[in-house]
A and B are shown apart, each in its own frame.
Chain A
Amino acid sequence: MSDEILASFEVRRLGILNESGAVDQALMPQLSDAEIWRMYEAMVLARVFDERAVALQREGRLGTYPPIMGQEAAQIGSAFAFSPADWVFPSFREMGVHLLLGYPIRQLLQYWTGDERAQNAPQQLNIFPFCVAVGSQIPHAVGAALAARYRHDPVAVICYFGDGATSKGDFHEGLNMAGVFRLPVVFICQNNQWAISVPLKNQTASASLAQKAIAYGFEGLQVDGNDVFAVYRATRQALDKARAGGGPTFIECLTYRMADHTTADDAGRYRSAGEVALWREKDPILRLERFLGSRGAWDAEKGGEVRARMTGIIDQAVQEMEAVPPPAPAELFDGALATLSPRQAAQRKGR
């Protein structure tokens, strides 16, 4: 008989780029200047897209929209590590990922007008449709990884979700199964600390979300989610490990939802302006600009020029989106079903 420590655990936290724009050279990932600049442009594109989407909603030109502001580093940094054959299972707040992967911007906007045709992803992108039911995409990622392994494809699977999803049964069931089968999946949690009005402390009693992975038998680590280099490094390592047969990884990107949950929400009802202001100082784009500035690669003029160029790209996409004809009534059936039953065929008639 005994009373002893059965097991004890450590959970890593990774940060490379601090708020003043300085980096830890020992941890800095291998990235060329051109690659870093591409990351920067992609983050600005995501920000401009987001601001425009909110504005379009206010003008009645878009439906309800969930802003990504503040989460650009978590999205661009992680997606930058993907290989083209990888499979991506998003939730509904990863438009930065879509933008970086080259999902047509016109289509992204079109979806948020309420046009489901826009979820037909380009053939070369293995990206699943947006998943509105929180956390329920997690088992799909696990299944795709099982399939990839069954086919002996050198494919990794990336699954995104938020802090709220970690309270769902599918999070547990999915991560548990991924651990049991040691599957090539990278779970990326954008912990933006708010699930609509519920703060993280009311979502979990865990000291971190990352440590939940330990219970499933694989590594979980927390990264500074507003640090594009840390997110990239962690994702890259996790993907390499997955492809090498090392099993799943859970990455908690600690970030902040700087805007409302959606355009139908008013975050002022449940959180203080002071808290938001604090996180504005940690803005992931500002941080990267400080880093680039310290290397002489960025100034206000260059920043303005990038922003203007990205604005032009979004302007063009908005025009294209608004030129798309609305779906025909028969689209209810024709786009949605493989074959119509006699009853469905009768219902389609005259539409």
Chain B
Amino acid sequence: MAQLNMVQAINQALSEEMARDDRVLLLGEDVGRDGGVFRVTEGLQERFGAERVLDTPLSESAIIGAAIGMAAYGLRPVPEIQFMGFTYSAFEQLFAHAARLRSRSRGRFSCPMVVRTPYGGGIKAPELHEESTEALFCQIPGLKVVVPSGPYTAKGLLLAALRDPDPVLFLEPTRLYRMLREEVPEGEYLVDLGRARVARAGGAVTVIAWGSMLERVLKSVGDYDAEVIDLLTLNPFDAETVLGSVKKTGRAVIVHEAARTCGLGAEIAATIAGEAMLYLRAPVLRVAAPDVPVPLAKLIDQYLPSAGQIQAALEEVLQY
């Protein structure tokens, strides 16, 4: 089995699915000839042609809007938005159309598409290139939100997203693109949407994270008896796995790199409070970014949750 990084794993998933299903096609800025600014789509235009890997104008709303029209027509488009910070000019298309088309037309039309976008901080990129506003998108019923945590989950989740009958926002943690290598099987395997993964078993505290924070959590928990849950799908998130673990450990810490207020951690904490309160031995804590705009490189380490903050939260709940 090959050791791949996440860029290679995503590329392989796209390539295999395009070979299998001629309804799948890619569109976006620089995805064709250039292979994408992170080279995720490298070689795909050469292999599948310019009709299937479309270099579009710099036009986020039209990229998502056109993908909606393609999906309704019967294709399975995979639009790429170059960075999550540029999805907002297409927000209306996602919110008002992609997520609602099936509902609005009562199933006459649907919108099976996967919007790929690099997300998250820590890569020394310019302003608006390091956003993690996943919670904005989790507030949109009808839109699934998925975040892989490594090469293996990236391929399996992407293949599952490509088979899903409804729109999926696929967030690719840029900090992990080339950081991790994992064994990634060639050919088909699916990581089911809506299912979390226990990344490390433990008994004293449950730590819930996703995307690049999972890597940081796994490095931070050290000798703590922590069970680490990799959420993978943010909406709908796997409450069953989260609650099952918290009922066992009696403690929960949620780690995300998005700003604290109204972050997804709030929804998870409320779910735990609502459905597992009597199992809790300590308050549910969140380790999150402060409620300020994502800074540039010089301050990003002050912004992103650190190992020290994660460990402090573990100490707090364990000694409560």
Interface residues of A (CB under 8 A from B): 87, 89, 116-117, 119-121, 123, 128-129, 133, 136, 138-148, 150-151, 169-170, 173-174, 176-177, 180-181, 335-339, 341-344
A170 engages B62 (CB within 8 Å): yes
CB-CB under 8 A from A138, the residues of chain B are 65
B239 engages A343 (CB within 8 Å): yes
CB-CB under 8 A from B25, the residues of chain A are 150
**Do A143 and B69 contact each other (CB < 8 Å), given the known contacts A173-B62, A343-B236, A343-B239?**
yes
CB-CB under 8 A from A133, the residues of chain B are 92, 96-97
CB-CB under 8 A from A176, the residues of chain B are 57, 59, 62
CB-CB under 8 A from A181, the residues of chain B are 54
B107 engages A136 (CB within 8 Å): no
CB-CB under 8 A from B104, the residues of chain A are 116, 119, 129
Given contact pairs A144-B69, A177-B62, a sample of 9 additional A-B residue pairs in the complex whose CB atoms are under 8 Å apart: A116-B106, A128-B72, A129-B108, A138-B65, A141-B69, A150-B51, A170-B92, A335-B103, A343-B239
A174 engages B70 (CB within 8 Å): no
A336 engages B236 (CB within 8 Å): no
B73 contacts A by Cβ under 8 Å: yes
CB-CB under 8 A from B106, the residues of chain A are 116-117, 119-120, 335-336
| Closest residue on chain A to residue B101 by CB atoms | A129
Q: In the complex, what distance in Å separates the CA atom of A342 from the CA atom of B241?
A: 12
| Closest residue on chain B to residue A138 by CB atoms | B65
Chain A facing B: main interface SS: helix
CB-CB under 8 A from B32, the residues of chain A are none
Write the nearest CB–CB distance from A193 to chain B, whole angstroms: 26
B69 engages A147 (CB within 8 Å): yes
B66 engages A177 (CB within 8 Å): yes
Name the residue among B59, B62, B71, B92 with the largest chain A CB count within 10 angstroms.
B62
A interface footprint on B132-147 (CB within 8 Å = 1, 0 otherwise): 0000000000100000
B74 contacts A by Cβ under 8 Å: yes
Write the nearest CB–CB distance from A137 to chain B, whole angstroms: 8
B220 contacts A by Cβ under 8 Å: no
Q: How many residues does chain B have at the interface if contact means C-beta atoms less than 8 Å apart?
A: 44
**Do A170 and B57 contact each other (CB < 8 Å), given the known contacts A116-B103, A150-B75?**
no
Write the nearest CB–CB distance from B112 to chain A, whole angstroms: 9
CB-CB under 8 A from A145, the residues of chain B are 69
Partner of A121, one of B93, B108, B165: B108
CB-CB under 8 A from B108, the residues of chain A are 119-121, 123, 129
Write the nearest CB–CB distance from A144 to chain B, whole angstroms: 4
Q: In the complex, what distance in Å separates the CA atom of A181 from the CA atom of B69?
A: 15
B236 engages A147 (CB within 8 Å): no
B15 contacts A by Cβ under 8 Å: no
B59 engages A338 (CB within 8 Å): no
B61 contacts A by Cβ under 8 Å: yes
B103 engages A121 (CB within 8 Å): no
A136 engages B73 (CB within 8 Å): no
**Do A337 and B142 contact each other (CB < 8 Å), given the known contacts A119-B105, A177-B57?**
yes
B89 contacts A by Cβ under 8 Å: yes
A136 engages B96 (CB within 8 Å): yes
Q: In the complex, what distance in Å separates the CA atom of A147 from the CA atom of B65?
A: 13
Interface residues of B in 189-244 (CB under 8 A from A): 194, 236, 239-240
Name the residue among B56, B104, B106 with the largest chain A CB count within 10 angstroms.
B106
Q: In the complex, what distance in Å separates the CA atom of A136 from the CA atom of B71?
A: 16
B102 engages A147 (CB within 8 Å): no
CB-CB under 8 A from A116, the residues of chain B are 103-104, 106
| Closest residue on chain B to residue A139 by CB atoms | B65
Partner of A169, one of B67, B89, B142, B240: B89
B61 engages A338 (CB within 8 Å): no
B69 engages A146 (CB within 8 Å): yes
CB-CB under 8 A from A141, the residues of chain B are 69
Q: Which 4 A-B pairs have the closest CB atoms?
A: A139-B65, A143-B69, A143-B66, A341-B236
CB-CB under 8 A from B68, the residues of chain A are 139-140, 143
A139 engages B61 (CB within 8 Å): yes
Q: In the complex, what distance in Å separates the CA atom of A150 from the CA atom of B64?
A: 17
Partner of A337, one of B71, B103, B194: B103
B110 engages A143 (CB within 8 Å): no
A338 engages B110 (CB within 8 Å): yes
CB-CB under 8 A from A147, the residues of chain B are 69-70, 73-75
Write the nearest CB–CB distance from A233 to chain B, whole angstroms: 27
Q: In the complex, what distance in Å separates the CA atom of A191 from the CA atom of B240?
A: 54
Write the nearest CB–CB distance from B291 to chain A, whole angstroms: 27
CB-CB under 8 A from A139, the residues of chain B are 61-62, 64-66, 68-69, 93
CB-CB under 8 A from A336, the residues of chain B are 102-103, 106, 142
Q: In the complex, what distance in Å separates the CA atom of A145 from the CA atom of B67?
A: 11
Partner of A146, one of B66, B105, B165, B240: B66
Q: In the complex, what distance in Å separates the CA atom of A336 from the CA atom of B77?
A: 22
B109 contacts A by Cβ under 8 Å: yes
CB-CB under 8 A from B102, the residues of chain A are 336-338
A136 engages B65 (CB within 8 Å): yes
Interface residues of B in 30-74 (CB under 8 A from A): 51-52, 54, 56-57, 59, 61-62, 64-74
CB-CB under 8 A from A121, the residues of chain B are 105, 108
